[in-house]
Structure formats: structure tokens, C-alpha cells
């Protein structure tokens, strides 16, 4: 297989974008990535989106984007893997380039979530759970994640204040990101006083409903210097894994094996280990998920994840900065866009273009994007 590089990235600010359609989001992010790369053609495009049919009544999104960009008749594909749709779309685009099927691939992640009511949004997101044995019984993702949090707290003695510290850290990072949905700092006290959504998770432990899109341009590493004016960032490893979709079927609620396995596969492909990672974007749809992901990818020891944020280990100036973009918690979580937005942040970091949130000397980064309560997980490793 050929080595693959990211030579362009684009993203618009996440938020409640009432004035923009799903088409607008996809097109704007795509054009931003194309301009960033400076390329004049695209050979193929891949779109990651979880539920455009339910959120906006628009299916055939890949064709819509190719048409709206004036790129027909390029092959265009849509990828769906719940909240991991963007990350899996990136993997699909990587495989096209690595295999030699395409030279220049546009990868887009997008979701427009605010065109439906809150109730309809919750029901749509619940389609990523087991419909017969979880959603039908009233389980929502805040509820399922709260079960994980409660089990973790009971097993390892973690506290609500430690969970809140994750949100505080990520909001501090998001305050430095002009593309983040929420650009304000919060305190542990504010998190603990916010509305309880599903005990022990407060509303400020949860990522918001968001609209947004992000995009990347991929090409063979050997051609990157000729095709683009930007310094290429190589994707040196990728790992993908699945687990039982239903939480009740797992033997241990505090474990997310799909994350562990996807990380192991990515590290093996890259010839790297967790201690090599200098900056990471982890899937923090809920604060407990960042804590679990830290352990599953190997950044901290089992049972030590809740202590990382309070101790400053994952802070912007800490030993291993995590979610420098603000994460899903502060940057926002348009579910299909998240995996590509994570790549956008890591590429900026490795280029040295992250501004006030720049991690000094960052050369190797990691993204981890998952669907459901860890039913699927994809990990990418990037190198400057």
C-alpha cells in the first residue's frame, strides 16, 4: 500500500446554524479544504454522515455533494457508522488512496441536527443503540453513558468532580478555538450545579446538539509536495473495531474493548506505541467517555483515567494534551462530522497552525472516534 498524506483541511464553526442547510455545510467545508490544499481536481469523494434522512429528510448525500460542488461524474460514497461516521469515512478515503484506486480524495463529515425538535433528535440518536433491547425500553445515550459512569465510579472510586474536570479542561481549550460552538470557560462548581440529565451526568458533562461539517484532502505522500503548498501530514496508522451494540451484552461496563482493539491495530500499523503520542483528540460525547478512552488507547493506566484531568496530565500544557480543540464537549458534536473535525485539529497541531492552543513541538497525534456506547471505534495516527 502507498503512504497517504493529508494536504488540506477545512471546517466551519460548529453551532446551531439555522441559516445554513446540510448542503451548505458540506459545500463550505469542502471548498475550505480544497483552498487549503490548493488542488485543482478531486478524483473521488467520501461523505460521513449518521442520519441525514432523519434529521433533514435528505438521503443520497454523496450525490448531492458531488452535484453541488460541480464535481460530477466523480465517484461519491456515503459512509454511516453512527457517531463514528466521519472517522470511518476518513478510513475509507485513506484506503482508496493507499490502494491506488484514487489519487486525490475529498473526505467530508457533516450533520445538521437542529432542524428537528429535541425529542426527535434524541430519538434519532438512539437509532445508534440496539432498538429492540435498549431504545424500545427507553434507554437514551445519556442514560447508557450514565450507567458506564456509575459503574466506573463504583469500581475505581472516581467522583463527579473528577468527571467535571474533563468538561472544565475542554471548555478552556474550546475558548481558544474560533471554530468551537462554546467558547467560554466553566468551573467544576458550575458543572456540578448544572441540571442532572442522568445520574451522575449533569448537562455540562454532555456534548451539545450541533450543526457542522469538516473536510480533508488526501493524496499519496510521494506526490504531496507537488500537489499542495501545505506541509503534508502522513496518516501512518489506522485501526477499526466493533463490539456488541447493546451495553447490557458486555461483561464489564467500565471497559470499551472496541477502542482498545482499534488503537492496538493503529499502533501496530504505524509502528508506534501510546507513549509516542504528543497530542490526542478523543471522543468525549460525555465526560466519562474521555476517561474511558484514555485508558483504552493506553495513554493512562486502567483505573487512572479520572485522575488525569484534575492532575493536569491532559491539559494544554500537560504531558499529553487531550482534546485541544475543545473536544465534542466544547467544540460541538455534529455526529457525522466529528471524526473529520478531530483530524482537522490534529493536522493543524502537527503543522504548527493551532494558534493559542498550539502544543509545542507536536509531531505525532492520534484521533479516536466511536459510535454508540463503544459499539464501533476507529483510531488514526498522524505524523508531521
Whether 126-204+236-383 and 4-117+210-233 are alike in CATH topology: the answer is yes
The pLDDT > 90 percentage for the chain reads 99
Give me the catalytic one of 81, 83, 219, 292.
83
Q: Is the pLDDT score of 169 beyond 90?
A: yes
Dihedral angle over CA of 28, 29, 35, 39, nearest 10: -110
136/139 Cα distance (integer angstroms): 7
Q: Is 127 helix (H, G, I), strand (E, B) or coil?
A: helix
pLDDT tens profile 137-153:
999 999 999 999 999 99
Largest pairwise CA distance in the chain: 57
Measure the CA angle with vertex 371, ends 126 and 185; round to 5°: 90
Q: Is the pLDDT of residue 160 over 90?
A: yes
The predicted pLDDT at position 229 comes to 86
Q: β-strand 211-220 against 105-112: which pairing, if any?
A: antiparallel
pLDDT at 361: 96
| pLDDT number for residue 311 | 98
Q: What is the pLDDT of residue 155?
A: 98
188-247 per-position pLDDT tens digit: 999 999 999 999 999 999 999 999 999 999 999 999 999 998 899 999 999 999 999 999
pLDDT tens for residues 111-140? 999 999 999 999 999 999 999 999 999 999
For 330-368, b/e burial (b = at least 16 CB within 10 A) is bbbbbbbbbbbbbbbbbbbbbbeebeebbbeebebbbbb
Q: Where are the domains of the chain?
A: 4-117+210-233, 126-204+236-383
The arithmetic mean of pLDDT across residues 275-288, rounded, is 98
Please report, to the nearest 10 degrees, the dihedral formed by the alpha carbons of residues 139, 140, 144, 146 taken in order.
-120
Question: Which residue is associated with the grid cell 504528543?
Answer: 278
The whole-angstrom separation of Cα 18 and Cα 3 is 40
Per the CB < 8 A criterion, the answer to whether 10 and 230 are in contact is no
**CATH architecture for residues 126-204+236-383:** 3-Layer(aba) Sandwich (3.40)
| Positive or negative torsion for Cα 12, 16, 20, 21 | positive
Q: Count the Cβ atoms, other than its own, within 10 Å of residue 106.
A: 30
For the full predicted model, state whether its pTM sits above 0.95.
Answer: yes
State yes or no: pLDDT of 380 exceeds 90.
yes
Residue 92 has pLDDT above 90, yes or no: yes
Per residue in 290-329, pLDDT (tens digit) is 999 999 999 999 999 999 999 999 999 999 999 999 999 9
Q: Report the residue count for the chain.
A: 384
Q: At the top level of CATH, which class does the domain 4-117+210-233 belong to?
A: alpha beta
How many Å apart are CA 98 and CA 59, to the nearest integer?
28
Q: With contact defined as beta carbons under 8 Å apart, do 77 and 15 qualify?
A: no
Tell me: the pLDDT tens digits for 16-72? 999 999 999 999 999 999 999 999 999 999 999 999 999 999 999 999 999 999 998
- The burial of 59, by beta-carbon neighbours within 10 Å (0-12 exposed, 13-18 middle, 19 or more buried), is given as middle
In this prediction, residue 227 carries a pLDDT of 93
Percent of the chain with pLDDT over 70: 100
Active-site pick, 171, 333, 344, 380: 333
The yes-or-no answer on residue 83 being catalytic is: yes
Each residue's pLDDT tens digit, 326-371: 999 999 999 999 999 999 999 999 999 999 999 999 999 999 999 9
Is 333 a residue of the active site? yes
Alpha carbon distance 183, 181 (integer Å): 6
| Contact in structure between 367 and 382 (CB atoms under 8 Å) | yes
Amino acid at each position: 500500500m502507498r503512504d497517504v498524506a493529508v494536504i488540506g483541511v477545512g471546517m466551519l464553526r460548529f453551532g446551531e446554524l439555522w441559516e445554513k442547510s446540510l448542503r451548505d455545510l458540506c459545500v463550505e467545508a469542502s471548498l475550505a479544504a480544497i483552498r487549503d490544499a490548493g488542488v485543482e481536481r478531486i478524483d473521488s469523494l467520501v461523505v460521513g454522515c449518521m442520519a441525514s434522512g432523519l434529521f433533514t429528510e435528505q438521503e443520497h448525500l454523496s450525490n448531492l455533494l458531488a452535484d453541488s460542488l460541480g464535481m460530477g461524474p466523480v465517484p461519491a460514497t456515503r459512509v454511516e457508522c453512527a457517531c463514528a461516521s466521519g472517522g470511518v469515512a476518513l478510513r475509507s478515503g485513506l484506503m482508496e488512496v493507499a490502494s491506488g484506486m484514487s489519487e486525490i480524495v475529498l473526505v467530508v463529515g457533516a450533520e445538521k441536527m437542529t432542524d428537528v425538535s429535541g425529542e426527535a433528535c434524541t430519538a434519532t440518536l438512539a437509532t445508534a443503540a440496539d432498538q429492540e433491547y435498549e431504545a424500545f425500553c427507553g434507554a437514551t445515550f445519556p442514560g447508557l453513558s450514565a450507567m458506564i459512569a456509575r459503574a466506573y465510579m463504583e469500581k475505581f472510586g472516581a467522583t463527579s468532580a473528577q468527571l467535571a474536570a474533563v468538561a472544565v479542561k475542554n471548555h478552556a481549550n474550546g475558548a481558544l478555538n474560533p471554530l468551537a460552538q462554546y467558547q467560554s470557560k466553566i468551573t467544576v462548581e458550575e458543572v456540578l450545579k448544572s441540571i442532572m440529565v442522568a445520574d451522575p451526568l449533569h448537562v455540562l458533562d454532555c456534548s451539545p446538539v450541533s450543526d457542522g461539517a469538516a473536510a480533508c484532502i488526501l493524496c499519496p505522500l510521494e506526490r504531496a509536495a507537488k500537489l499542495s503548498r501545505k506541509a503534508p501530514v502522513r496518516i501512518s496508522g489506522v485501526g477499526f473495531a466493533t463490539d456488541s451494540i447493546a451495553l447490557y451484552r458486555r461483561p464489564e461496563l467500565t471497559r470499551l474493548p472496541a477502542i482498545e482493539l482499534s488503537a492496538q491495530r493503529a499502533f501496530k500499523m504505524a509502528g508506534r506505541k501510546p507513549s509516542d503520542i504528543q497530542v490526542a483528540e478523543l471522543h468525549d460525547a460525555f465526560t466519562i467517555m474521555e476517561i474511558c478512552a484514555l485508558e483504552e488507547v493506553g495513554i493512562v493506566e486502567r483505573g487512572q483515567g479520572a485522575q488525569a484531568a484534575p492532575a493536569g496530565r491532559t491539559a494544554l500544557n500537560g504531558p499529553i494534551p487531550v482534546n485541544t480543540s475543545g473536544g465534542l464537549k466544547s467544540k460541538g458534536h455534529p455526529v457525522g462530522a466529528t471524526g473529520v473535525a478531530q483530524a482537522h485539529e490534529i493536522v493543524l497541531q502537527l503543522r504548527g497552525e493551532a494558534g493559542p492552543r498550539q502544543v509545542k513541538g507536536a509531531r505525532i497525534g492520534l484521533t479516536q472516534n466511536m459510535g454508540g456506547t463503544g459499539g464501533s471505534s476507529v483510531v488514526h495516527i498522524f505524523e508531521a
